[in-house]
Chain A
Amino acid sequence: MTGLMVFLAKLISGANARWLGCVPDTRQRIYFANHTSNLDALVLWAVLPAEVRALTRPVAARDYWSTAIRRYIADKIFHAILIERKKPTARDNPIEQILAAMGNEKSIIIFPEGGRQTADEPVAFKSGLYHLARKRPDVELIPVLMDNLNRILPKGEVFPVPLIGHVTFGAPLKLLPEETKPAFLGRARAEVMRLHYL
């Protein structure tokens, strides 16, 4: 099933990975990307080399992935970490859930915009990425640009159009000492956008 899913994702999106700022590695990483299409998580995950993919879990919204088929895909194929994005509470804290799921060896894929966007540029990042960076300074933060996926399967469409997408991996980002939350999140977003021009 996993093999079939990877094959389909690559076939539909035609996506190839461009590793510009780093090389594929099984070390713990947080891949953060812009989000414009339902295909994003699937495609980013699919273009990772198999041994990296086996250790990488996408973070996804529980409200979206709750129907039976989606739930099956999220659990059995992606091993997605499903979090509450609408009403996080102290007891239902997404950051704690993500940190627990990561443990000491898993990498994760997150989309810090908090949902799919239709604008040309990514909107301001939500603060989760900052909290993760603060709690796990040892983990590499990799900016990823998902390009053209919004034309393959835009928000609100069911059938994909088979264009060619690109996934670009940038250089690892570090939370600087004394860096404020807005400054860090702004910098992270700029790093994703910068990959457009490389």
Chain B
Amino acid sequence: MKLKFDNEIFWLVGGVLALLLIATVIGQWLRLRVKSEGGQKTIVNLNARTKAWWFMVAVFMAAMATGGIGSVILFGLMSFLALREFITLTPTRIGDHRTLFWVFFLITPLQYYLVATNWYGLFVILIPVYAFLFVPLRSAMRGDCERFLERTAKIQWGLMVCVYCVSHAPGLLFLNIPGYEGENGKLLFYFVCIAQLSDVLQYVWGKTLGRHKIAPHVSPNKTWEGFLGGVATAVGIGAALWWATPFTPWQSAGMSLAITFMGFTGGLVMSAIKRDRGVKDYGTLIEGHGGVMDRIDSICFAAPVFYHLTRYYFT
């Protein structure tokens, strides 16, 4: 894989930077204007989020500028950190220690090695088949049977969500789409943009107009107004970005709908896990956002679906 850099990618990058600039200006303006204590708290958090976005966008673009391999490594690191947060929250026992060692230091890097070498056949089954069998086997050899199935399921699920699902995002770089050779960087950019924009827009619509909660027990901040407004806006933006993708405007709108819908379900499921464990965030690594997992929960669910839709219909 060798990525080309054309004018379109500069338009995408320019668009994101312009958006961040606008968000920064609005954040500062709100800071001066909003007086109520609750409002101030929201604004401080909003500005911390925007600041973290500058950093995340810079890292994402630097990785992209390497021509692909940097993006694979970046997503690999995100998987590693997300899995770390996930396993920290889910109780395992000392009997799982060596299993976890292999999970972190062999299976996770191996999955990304398969992405980078474009070994599709093994890439899609390494974790659901081989890691699935290996995890209980290694733990059973240790001889601790207490809550065995539960512990095994937690580790397997952590691997699936944090590593397997996320690895489909850099996998987009290796899809062989006729007429789009060397342009896959834009496809990854498009995917991450829509998934994250949809989160941000649902947050914005929810904060401004949100009244009716969708799932008050799971995620009190998710409202119907936020969901519908966010999805509609993100799909609109997705359709408008069709020129950067192998899709027509209508196809691009459909793809964006799939990404935003899956992203929403990812946020909901990962929230349910947080509620079960009694925490608000997965970690503290990204100021204003929480942990890495809090930021990529939408990508976890959207990446495999977007990957396979594109692979099935466009390659």
Compute how far the CA of A16 lies from the CA of B85 in the bound complex, rounded to whole angstroms: 14
CB pair B88–A164 under 8 Å, yes or no, is yes
CB pair A154–B87 under 8 Å, yes or no, is no
CB pair A151–B92 under 8 Å, yes or no, is yes
Compute how far the CA of A14 lies from the CA of B80 in the bound complex, rounded to whole angstroms: 13
CB pair B101–A164 under 8 Å, yes or no, is no
B76 vs chain A, min Cβ distance (A): 14
**B residues within 8 A CB of A151?**
88, 92, 94, 97
Closest 10 CB pairs of A and B: A164-B88, A161-B100, A163-B88, A154-B94, A159-B101, A161-B101, A162-B84, A157-B97, A154-B97, A163-B87
Instruction: Give the total number of A-B pairs whose CB atoms are below 8 A apart.
Output: 31
A160 vs chain B, min Cβ distance (A): 8
B86 vs chain A, min Cβ distance (A): 10
Q: Kindly state whether residue B104 has any CB partner on chain A within 8 Å.
A: yes
**A residues within 8 A CB of B101?**
159, 161
Contact of A161 among B85, B104, B283, B284 (CB under 8 A): B104
Compute how far the CA of A150 lies from the CA of B283 in the bound complex, rounded to whole angstroms: 19
**B residues within 8 A CB of A159?**
98, 101
Q: Kindly state whether residue A148 has any CB partner on chain B within 8 Å.
A: yes
**B residues within 8 A CB of A150?**
94
If A151-B92, A161-B104, A163-B84 touch, does A16 touch B284 (CB 8 Å cutoff)? Answer: yes
B139 vs chain A, min Cβ distance (A): 13
Compute how far the CA of A163 lies from the CA of B100 in the bound complex, rounded to whole angstroms: 10
**A residues within 8 A CB of B87?**
161, 163
The chain B residues found within 8 Å of chain A, CB to CB, are 80, 84-85, 87-88, 92, 94, 97-98, 100-101, 104, 283-284
**A residues within 8 A CB of B104?**
161-162
Instruction: Return the chain B residue nearest A159 by Cβ.
Output: B101
**A residues within 8 A CB of B283?**
164
If A161-B100, A161-B104 touch, does A118 touch B88 (CB 8 Å cutoff)? Answer: no
**A residues 72-120 with Cβ under 8 Å of B?**
118
Compute how far the CA of A157 lies from the CA of B98 in the bound complex, rounded to whole angstroms: 9
**A residues within 8 A CB of B94?**
118, 150-151, 154
Instruction: Return the chain B residue nearest A151 by Cβ.
Output: B92
Compute how far the CA of A164 lies from the CA of B92 in the bound complex, rounded to whole angstroms: 13
**A residues 1-31 with Cβ under 8 Å of B?**
14, 16
13 A-B pairs in the complex with CB atoms less than 8 angstroms apart: A14-B88, A16-B284, A151-B92, A154-B94, A154-B97, A157-B97, A157-B98, A159-B98, A159-B101, A161-B101, A161-B104, A162-B84, A162-B104
Compute how far the CA of A148 lies from the CA of B84 in the bound complex, rounded to whole angstroms: 12
CB pair A148–B88 under 8 Å, yes or no, is yes
Compute how far the CA of A16 lies from the CA of B104 in the bound complex, rounded to whole angstroms: 21
B82 vs chain A, min Cβ distance (A): 12
If A151-B92, A161-B104, A162-B104 touch, does A14 touch B97 (CB 8 Å cutoff)? Answer: no
Q: What mask results when residues 141 to 167 of chain A are scored 1 for a CB within 8 Å of chain B, else 0?
A: 000000010110010010101111000
In addition to A154-B94, A162-B84, 6 A-B residue pairs with Cβ atoms within 8 Å of each other are A14-B88, A150-B94, A157-B98, A161-B100, A163-B84, A164-B283
CB pair B84–A14 under 8 Å, yes or no, is yes
**B residues within 8 A CB of A154?**
94, 97
Instruction: Return the chain A residue nearest B83 by Cβ.
Output: A162
A155 vs chain B, min Cβ distance (A): 8
CB pair B97–A164 under 8 Å, yes or no, is no
Compute how far the CA of A14 lies from the CA of B101 in the bound complex, rounded to whole angstroms: 16
**B residues within 8 A CB of A16?**
284
A161 vs chain B, min Cβ distance (A): 4
Compute how far the CA of A159 lies from the CA of B106 in the bound complex, rounded to whole angstroms: 13
Compute how far the CA of A150 lies from the CA of B101 in the bound complex, rounded to whole angstroms: 14
Compute how far the CA of A14 lies from the CA of B97 in the bound complex, rounded to whole angstroms: 17
Tell which of A16, A150, A154, A161 has the most Cβ of chain B within 10 Å: A161
Compute how far the CA of A151 lies from the CA of B104 in the bound complex, rounded to whole angstroms: 14
**A residues within 8 A CB of B100?**
161
B153 vs chain A, min Cβ distance (A): 18
A6 vs chain B, min Cβ distance (A): 18
**B residues within 8 A CB of A148?**
88
Compute how far the CA of A26 lies from the CA of B161 in the bound complex, rounded to whole angstroms: 44
Compute how far the CA of A161 lies from the CA of B100 in the bound complex, rounded to whole angstroms: 7
**A residues within 8 A CB of B97?**
151, 154, 157, 161
Contact of B84 among A118, A157, A164 (CB under 8 A): A164
Compute how far the CA of A161 lies from the CA of B158 in the bound complex, rounded to whole angstroms: 15
